[in-house]
Structure 1
Amino acid sequence: MNIAIGNDHAGTSYKFEIVKYLKDNGIEVMNFGTDKEESMDYPDAIHPVAEAVESGKADLGIIICGSGNGAAMTANHHKKIRAALCWNDELVALARQHNDANILSIPARFVSLEDSIQFVKTFLNTDFEGGRHQKRIDKIPTDNC
């Protein structure tokens, strides 16, 4: 499995720990985020994650910013991207099961590092249920991105 990850300055410390978790579990990581805590513009780190997932170079993506909102909004402007902003584990599971989310957006200023690691575990280990949910996914337009 190959995961693309991107973060702004608010997500740097979380990114380091998530990357460590992923690598410790044999998952390849494409790091598009900043390694610094100086202010930077989140779209510069998020667009490459969305492009990697959209093109198939990455299986899934993880994006991290202070609120998670800007990162998710940026990613969702790409065709084929369904980025889900999640702040608890149930939302992560439902985003995968019902929405086939392919990018997890983590709000670093509002969740603990421990919770974030759990979100990543759930995100990677939860499958899309398909069925009635697929017809709903099919109704999400991708031609106006």
Structure 2
Amino acid sequence: MIVLIQRVQHAKVEVSGQTVGAIAQGLLVLVGIEAADTAEDVDWLSRKVCQLRIFADEQGVMNKSVLEVGGEILCISQFTLHASTKKGNRPSYIKAARPEQAQPLYEDFCTALEGHLGGPVAKGIFGADMQVSLLNDGPVTLHIDSKNRV
């Protein structure tokens, strides 16, 4: 499971011109699920996202988590995070999980984030054509792969 995390001042996701999820200060989390992912990846990665100290403390040092600043999370499913570009110019998505496996893991990941956050997580619509808008804060953007824990 891969996440691309962006610290944002605000973010929203639209489907067919309608806002389906929006947050103020917090984290935009793009999540890519591969066929080898399990509930263990969901648990580890959801904890990691909520505990990352990437918000400024009183001295301006990145020392606080989204929990500590009372931030929000917008979570978007993004299978293209598993693109392989090694051969040719057309990306291959062979590592990305099929929708019937990916959607339940995506929903479980969002539920786990809510449990750690202690509140609702805004979401996109799995498999939909979505337009995501954000104001990146910093910018701070991190890439985490649950298969690379050490």
TM-score tier (shorter): 0.3 to 0.5
TM (normalized to structure 2)?
0.32
TM (normalized to structure 1)?
0.33
Higher relative contact order (CA 8 A, sep 6+): 2
Please say which structure displays the higher CA radius of gyration. 2
- Structure number with higher helix proportion: 1
- Structure number with higher strand proportion: 2
